[in-house]
Structure 1
Amino acid sequence: MKQIALTLLALIAATAAQARDDTVMLPLADVVQLGLDQGKLDGSVKFYLSGAATPRVSAKLGDDTSNKKTNGVGKDDATACNWAALSALIAFQSSAKQKGANAVVDLHSFYKKNPNKDPVNYECHAGNIMAGVALKGTYARIGK
Protein backbone atom coordinates (compact mmCIF):
# COMPACT_ATOMS: atom_id res chain seq x y z
CA MET A 1 0.00 0.00 0.00
CA LYS A 2 2.84 2.36 0.86
CA GLN A 3 4.45 1.68 -2.54
CA ILE A 4 1.22 2.58 -4.37
CA ALA A 5 0.94 5.84 -2.44
CA LEU A 6 4.55 6.74 -3.25
CA THR A 7 4.03 5.90 -6.93
CA LEU A 8 0.92 8.07 -7.10
CA LEU A 9 2.73 10.92 -5.37
CA ALA A 10 5.60 10.65 -7.88
CA LEU A 11 3.17 10.72 -10.82
CA ILE A 12 1.40 13.79 -9.46
CA ALA A 13 4.72 15.57 -8.91
CA ALA A 14 5.87 14.69 -12.45
CA THR A 15 2.63 16.01 -13.94
CA ALA A 16 2.86 19.25 -11.97
CA ALA A 17 6.47 19.71 -13.05
CA GLN A 18 5.39 19.47 -16.68
CA ALA A 19 2.46 21.89 -16.28
CA ARG A 20 2.40 24.59 -18.90
CA ASP A 21 1.12 28.17 -18.70
CA ASP A 22 2.22 29.89 -21.90
CA THR A 23 1.21 33.48 -22.58
CA VAL A 24 -0.15 33.83 -26.11
CA MET A 25 -1.01 37.19 -27.73
CA LEU A 26 -3.52 36.98 -30.60
CA PRO A 27 -5.49 39.54 -32.66
CA LEU A 28 -8.98 40.23 -31.32
CA ALA A 29 -10.21 41.07 -34.84
CA ASP A 30 -9.81 37.39 -35.78
CA VAL A 31 -12.05 36.37 -32.88
CA VAL A 32 -14.71 38.96 -33.78
CA GLN A 33 -14.69 37.75 -37.40
CA LEU A 34 -14.93 34.12 -36.25
CA GLY A 35 -17.94 35.02 -34.11
CA LEU A 36 -19.64 36.86 -36.96
CA ASP A 37 -18.94 34.02 -39.41
CA GLN A 38 -20.36 31.44 -37.02
CA GLY A 39 -23.38 33.58 -36.11
CA LYS A 40 -22.36 33.71 -32.44
CA LEU A 41 -21.89 37.50 -32.64
CA ASP A 42 -24.53 39.49 -34.48
CA GLY A 43 -22.62 42.74 -35.08
CA SER A 44 -24.94 44.85 -32.93
CA VAL A 45 -22.17 45.36 -30.36
CA LYS A 46 -18.74 46.60 -31.45
CA PHE A 47 -15.55 45.80 -29.55
CA TYR A 48 -12.69 48.31 -29.16
CA LEU A 49 -9.45 47.36 -27.48
CA SER A 50 -7.69 49.91 -25.26
CA GLY A 51 -5.60 52.22 -27.41
CA ALA A 52 -7.49 51.47 -30.63
CA ALA A 53 -9.37 54.19 -32.50
CA THR A 54 -12.85 54.42 -31.01
CA PRO A 55 -15.86 56.42 -32.18
CA ARG A 56 -17.14 59.15 -29.87
CA VAL A 57 -18.64 57.67 -26.69
CA SER A 58 -21.97 59.30 -25.80
CA ALA A 59 -22.55 57.29 -22.60
CA LYS A 60 -20.61 54.89 -20.42
CA LEU A 61 -22.79 52.22 -18.86
CA GLY A 62 -20.47 50.41 -16.45
CA ASP A 63 -17.48 48.11 -16.42
CA ASP A 64 -17.44 44.34 -16.52
CA THR A 65 -15.05 41.41 -16.63
CA SER A 66 -15.45 38.12 -18.45
CA ASN A 67 -13.18 35.22 -17.53
CA LYS A 68 -13.56 32.18 -19.79
CA LYS A 69 -11.69 28.92 -20.05
CA THR A 70 -11.89 26.08 -22.53
CA ASN A 71 -10.57 22.58 -22.91
CA GLY A 72 -7.31 22.74 -24.87
CA VAL A 73 -6.79 19.00 -25.33
CA GLY A 74 -6.25 18.19 -28.99
CA LYS A 75 -6.34 21.87 -30.02
CA ASP A 76 -3.48 24.14 -30.93
CA ASP A 77 -3.06 27.17 -28.66
CA ALA A 78 -4.54 29.67 -31.15
CA THR A 79 -7.70 27.60 -31.66
CA ALA A 80 -8.25 27.07 -27.93
CA CYS A 81 -7.49 30.71 -27.12
CA ASN A 82 -9.79 32.05 -29.83
CA TRP A 83 -12.60 29.81 -28.57
CA ALA A 84 -12.18 31.10 -25.00
CA ALA A 85 -12.00 34.72 -26.22
CA LEU A 86 -15.13 34.24 -28.33
CA SER A 87 -16.97 32.95 -25.26
CA ALA A 88 -15.96 36.13 -23.42
CA LEU A 89 -17.17 38.34 -26.30
CA ILE A 90 -20.50 36.49 -26.44
CA ALA A 91 -20.98 37.20 -22.72
CA PHE A 92 -20.09 40.89 -23.26
CA GLN A 93 -22.52 41.12 -26.21
CA SER A 94 -25.36 39.67 -24.14
CA SER A 95 -24.76 42.02 -21.20
CA ALA A 96 -24.27 45.03 -23.50
CA LYS A 97 -27.69 44.47 -25.06
CA GLN A 98 -29.31 44.24 -21.62
CA LYS A 99 -27.70 47.56 -20.65
CA GLY A 100 -28.62 49.33 -23.90
CA ALA A 101 -24.98 49.55 -25.02
CA ASN A 102 -23.83 49.15 -28.60
CA ALA A 103 -20.12 48.84 -27.82
CA VAL A 104 -17.54 47.63 -25.35
CA VAL A 105 -14.68 50.14 -25.16
CA ASP A 106 -11.35 50.13 -23.35
CA LEU A 107 -11.40 46.35 -23.69
CA HIS A 108 -8.22 44.80 -22.38
CA SER A 109 -6.80 41.58 -21.03
CA PHE A 110 -7.19 41.20 -17.29
CA TYR A 111 -5.68 37.77 -16.58
CA LYS A 112 -5.27 37.24 -12.82
CA LYS A 113 -6.38 40.90 -12.45
CA ASN A 114 -3.28 42.17 -14.27
CA PRO A 115 -4.25 44.68 -16.98
CA ASN A 116 -2.57 44.22 -20.33
CA LYS A 117 -3.64 46.94 -22.75
CA ASP A 118 -2.82 46.34 -26.40
CA PRO A 119 -4.64 48.05 -29.29
CA VAL A 120 -4.66 44.88 -31.45
CA ASN A 121 -4.10 41.73 -29.39
CA TYR A 122 -5.64 39.99 -26.41
CA GLU A 123 -3.74 37.83 -23.92
CA CYS A 124 -4.47 34.15 -23.45
CA HIS A 125 -2.86 31.60 -21.16
CA ALA A 126 -2.56 28.14 -22.67
CA GLY A 127 -1.75 25.05 -20.65
CA ASN A 128 -1.59 21.33 -21.25
CA ILE A 129 -5.33 20.87 -20.84
CA MET A 130 -6.90 24.34 -20.53
CA ALA A 131 -6.75 27.75 -22.17
CA GLY A 132 -8.05 30.86 -20.43
CA VAL A 133 -8.89 34.45 -21.34
CA ALA A 134 -9.95 37.26 -19.02
CA LEU A 135 -11.16 40.52 -20.55
CA LYS A 136 -12.30 43.73 -18.89
CA GLY A 137 -14.13 46.54 -20.64
CA THR A 138 -16.64 49.35 -20.40
CA TYR A 139 -20.14 49.15 -21.86
CA ALA A 140 -20.87 52.23 -23.93
CA ARG A 141 -23.14 53.86 -26.45
CA ILE A 142 -21.14 55.18 -29.37
CA GLY A 143 -22.04 57.46 -32.24
CA LYS A 144 -22.41 55.87 -35.62
Structure 2
Amino acid sequence: MKKLISVAALLAVSLTSLQAQAADTMLKFPIAGALAANDAQNRLGDSVKFYFADQPTPKVLTKIASDKTSQRTNGFGKSAEKACNWVFLSAMLALQKRAQELGANAVVNIVSNFKDIEMASQTEFECADGAIMAGVALKGDFVKIAP
Protein backbone atom coordinates (compact mmCIF):
# COMPACT_ATOMS: atom_id res chain seq x y z
CA MET A 1 0.00 0.00 0.00
CA LYS A 2 2.88 2.39 0.82
CA LYS A 3 4.38 1.75 -2.64
CA LEU A 4 1.05 2.57 -4.29
CA ILE A 5 0.78 5.83 -2.33
CA SER A 6 4.38 6.73 -3.21
CA VAL A 7 3.79 6.05 -6.91
CA ALA A 8 0.57 8.10 -6.84
CA ALA A 9 2.35 11.01 -5.13
CA LEU A 10 5.21 10.86 -7.64
CA LEU A 11 2.75 10.81 -10.52
CA ALA A 12 0.89 13.83 -9.10
CA VAL A 13 4.15 15.79 -8.75
CA SER A 14 5.16 14.85 -12.31
CA LEU A 15 1.80 15.96 -13.74
CA THR A 16 1.97 19.26 -11.85
CA SER A 17 5.48 19.81 -13.20
CA LEU A 18 4.33 19.07 -16.77
CA GLN A 19 1.41 21.48 -16.44
CA ALA A 20 3.74 24.22 -15.20
CA GLN A 21 6.09 23.61 -18.13
CA ALA A 22 3.17 23.62 -20.59
CA ALA A 23 2.24 27.22 -19.77
CA ASP A 24 2.56 29.48 -22.79
CA THR A 25 5.25 32.14 -22.91
CA MET A 26 4.15 35.13 -24.96
CA LEU A 27 6.84 36.19 -27.42
CA LYS A 28 7.01 38.89 -30.08
CA PHE A 29 8.65 38.40 -33.46
CA PRO A 30 9.05 40.66 -36.51
CA ILE A 31 6.35 40.31 -39.15
CA ALA A 32 8.98 40.94 -41.86
CA GLY A 33 11.04 37.99 -40.59
CA ALA A 34 8.04 35.68 -40.64
CA LEU A 35 7.12 36.79 -44.16
CA ALA A 36 10.71 36.15 -45.29
CA ALA A 37 10.68 32.58 -43.91
CA ASN A 38 9.04 29.40 -45.20
CA ASP A 39 8.49 30.83 -48.71
CA ALA A 40 5.69 32.90 -47.16
CA GLN A 41 5.66 35.66 -49.78
CA ASN A 42 5.22 33.17 -52.63
CA ARG A 43 2.68 31.07 -50.74
CA LEU A 44 0.56 34.13 -49.92
CA GLY A 45 0.88 35.67 -53.39
CA ASP A 46 -0.66 39.06 -54.00
CA SER A 47 -4.37 38.37 -54.52
CA VAL A 48 -5.10 39.56 -50.96
CA LYS A 49 -3.27 42.50 -49.38
CA PHE A 50 -2.52 42.56 -45.65
CA TYR A 51 -2.29 45.64 -43.42
CA PHE A 52 -1.28 45.39 -39.77
CA ALA A 53 -2.62 47.53 -36.91
CA ASP A 54 -3.00 51.15 -38.02
CA GLN A 55 -0.88 50.80 -41.17
CA PRO A 56 -2.06 53.20 -43.91
CA THR A 57 -4.21 51.49 -46.53
CA PRO A 58 -5.63 52.40 -49.89
CA LYS A 59 -9.19 53.72 -49.70
CA VAL A 60 -11.53 51.10 -48.21
CA LEU A 61 -14.52 50.80 -50.54
CA THR A 62 -16.49 48.23 -48.54
CA LYS A 63 -16.09 46.55 -45.18
CA ILE A 64 -17.38 43.00 -45.58
CA ALA A 65 -16.76 41.36 -42.20
CA SER A 66 -14.45 40.97 -39.22
CA ASP A 67 -13.12 37.58 -38.23
CA LYS A 68 -10.30 35.85 -36.38
CA THR A 69 -8.16 32.78 -36.65
CA SER A 70 -6.22 30.81 -34.09
CA GLN A 71 -3.58 28.39 -35.35
CA ARG A 72 -1.21 26.03 -33.54
CA THR A 73 1.76 24.00 -34.66
CA ASN A 74 4.05 21.42 -33.15
CA GLY A 75 6.99 23.27 -31.65
CA PHE A 76 8.81 20.23 -30.31
CA GLY A 77 12.49 20.28 -31.29
CA LYS A 78 12.19 23.65 -33.04
CA SER A 79 13.39 27.05 -31.91
CA ALA A 80 10.62 29.35 -30.74
CA GLU A 81 11.26 31.66 -33.69
CA LYS A 82 11.06 28.85 -36.24
CA ALA A 83 7.83 27.44 -34.77
CA CYS A 84 6.28 30.90 -34.43
CA ASN A 85 7.17 31.93 -37.99
CA TRP A 86 5.62 28.71 -39.25
CA VAL A 87 2.37 29.13 -37.32
CA PHE A 88 2.21 32.84 -38.27
CA LEU A 89 2.20 31.75 -41.93
CA SER A 90 -0.59 29.28 -41.16
CA ALA A 91 -2.63 32.10 -39.59
CA MET A 92 -1.99 34.37 -42.56
CA LEU A 93 -3.05 31.63 -44.98
CA ALA A 94 -6.25 31.19 -42.96
CA LEU A 95 -6.96 34.94 -43.20
CA GLN A 96 -6.26 34.81 -46.93
CA LYS A 97 -8.62 31.87 -47.43
CA ARG A 98 -11.39 33.63 -45.47
CA ALA A 99 -10.87 36.82 -47.49
CA GLN A 100 -11.20 34.88 -50.73
CA GLU A 101 -14.37 33.16 -49.47
CA LEU A 102 -15.88 36.57 -48.64
CA GLY A 103 -14.78 38.24 -51.88
CA ALA A 104 -12.42 40.63 -50.06
CA ASN A 105 -9.18 41.80 -51.63
CA ALA A 106 -7.57 42.96 -48.36
CA VAL A 107 -7.42 42.31 -44.65
CA VAL A 108 -6.87 45.48 -42.62
CA ASN A 109 -6.44 46.27 -38.93
CA ILE A 110 -4.75 42.90 -38.34
CA VAL A 111 -3.81 42.46 -34.69
CA SER A 112 -2.57 39.59 -32.57
CA ASN A 113 -5.47 38.33 -30.49
CA PHE A 114 -4.30 35.46 -28.27
CA LYS A 115 -7.00 34.51 -25.74
CA ASP A 116 -8.91 37.64 -26.90
CA ILE A 117 -6.15 39.96 -25.66
CA GLU A 118 -5.18 42.31 -28.48
CA MET A 119 -1.63 43.34 -29.29
CA ALA A 120 -1.51 45.80 -32.19
CA SER A 121 1.71 46.47 -34.06
CA GLN A 122 2.68 47.31 -37.61
CA THR A 123 5.96 45.43 -37.23
CA GLU A 124 5.51 42.57 -34.72
CA PHE A 125 3.18 39.66 -34.06
CA GLU A 126 2.63 37.80 -30.82
CA CYS A 127 3.17 34.07 -30.47
CA ALA A 128 2.36 31.76 -27.57
CA ASP A 129 5.30 29.38 -27.20
CA GLY A 130 4.64 26.32 -25.05
CA ALA A 131 6.58 23.19 -24.22
CA ILE A 132 5.10 21.29 -27.16
CA MET A 133 3.00 23.71 -29.21
CA ALA A 134 3.26 27.25 -30.57
CA GLY A 135 0.22 29.34 -31.40
CA VAL A 136 -0.69 32.53 -33.21
CA ALA A 137 -4.12 34.16 -33.12
CA LEU A 138 -4.92 37.04 -35.46
CA LYS A 139 -8.01 39.06 -36.20
CA GLY A 140 -8.79 41.64 -38.84
CA ASP A 141 -11.35 43.30 -41.05
CA PHE A 142 -12.06 41.87 -44.50
CA VAL A 143 -12.54 44.66 -47.01
CA LYS A 144 -12.51 45.69 -50.63
CA ILE A 145 -9.90 48.36 -51.25
CA ALA A 146 -9.40 50.63 -54.23
CA PRO A 147 -6.96 49.23 -56.78
For normalisation by structure 1, the TM-score amounts to 0.90
Amino acid at match of 1:137: G
SS class of match (2:43): coil
Amino acid at match of 2:16: A
SS class of match (1:40): helix
Classify 1:56/1:30 alpha carbon distance in 2 versus 1 (closer, same or farther; 3 Å): farther
Q: Does 1:104 align with 2:107?
A: yes
Give me the CA root mean square deviation: 1.7
Distance 1:73 1:107 in 2: 28
Q: Does 1:141 align with 2:141?
A: no
Distance 1:66 1:18 in 2: 25
Shift of 1:36: 5.0
Give the structure 1 partner of residue 5 of structure 2: 2
Aligned residues: 144
Shift of 1:39: 4.2
Give the structure 2 partner of residue 82 of structure 1: 85
SS class of match (1:3): helix
Distance 2:77 2:136 in 1: 18
Unaligned regions of 5+ residues in structure 2, if any? none
Unaligned regions of 5+ residues in structure 1, if any? none
User: Which stretch has the larger CA shift, 68-77 or 32-41?
Assistant: 32-41
Distance 1:133 1:50 in 2: 16
Shift of 1:37: 4.8
Shift of 1:20: 4.3
Classify 1:37/1:25 alpha carbon distance in 2 versus 1 (closer, same or farther; 3 Å): closer
For 1:1-144, list aligned pairs within 5 A.
1-34=4-37, 37=40, 39-144=42-147
Distance 1:57 1:36 in 2: 29
User: Which stretch has the larger CA shift, 8-17 or 24-33?
Assistant: 24-33
For normalisation by structure 2, the TM-score amounts to 0.88
User: Which stretch has the larger CA shift, 130-139 or 1-10?
Assistant: 1-10
Shift of 1:29: 2.9
Distance 1:73 1:88 in 2: 19
Distance 2:74 2:140 in 1: 24
Classify 1:106/1:37 alpha carbon distance in 2 versus 1 (closer, same or farther; 3 Å): closer
Percent identity, aligned pairs only? 39
Larger Rg: 2
Classify 1:35/1:15 alpha carbon distance in 2 versus 1 (closer, same or farther; 3 Å): closer
